[in-house]
């Protein structure tokens, strides 16, 4: 269950990081509220997952999911550049996230 919470926390991290773009410096009410809700949910779920998972592994996976998701959505939503190198390193990030899960030995 800790891994499920951690993945959901990572998805909420993607939500709040992308939401920052829509808040326009926290000047728009609805995007700001949604961003803060996603941030809170992300933190709560991360804190619950580290009851079982090692903090180093959980934090690295959480950040990795957030970074990967924000980069992919940046490409899709904001037309950020797509280069072979960028795709390669995003793929490496995905491999690292999966590798941390496989090698953690916790909750398997």
Task: Report residue 68's pLDDT band, with 50, 70 and 90 as the boundaries.
Answer: very high
Domain ranges of the chain: 2-104
Task: Report residue 107's pLDDT band, with 50, 70 and 90 as the boundaries.
Answer: low
- Distance in angstroms (rounded) separating the CA atoms of residues 92 and 59: 17
pTM score, whole prediction: 0.90
Rounded to an integer, the average pLDDT of 11-30 is 97
> For residue 85, what pLDDT is reported?
97
């Amino acid at each position: 269950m800790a891994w499920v919470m951690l993945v959901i926390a990572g998805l909420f991290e993607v939500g709040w990081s992308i939401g920052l773009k829509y808040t326009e410096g926290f000047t728009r009410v609805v995007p700001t509220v949604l961003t803060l809700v996603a941030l809170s949910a992300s933190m709560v779920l991360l804190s619950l997952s580290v009851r079982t998972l090692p903090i180093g592994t959980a934090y690295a996976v959480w950040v990795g999911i957030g970074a990967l998701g924000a980069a992919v959505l940046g490409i899709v939503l904001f037309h950020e550049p797509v280069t072979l190198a960028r795709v390669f390193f995003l793929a490496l990030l995905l491999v690292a996230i999966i590798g941390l899960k496989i090698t953690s030995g916790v909750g398997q």
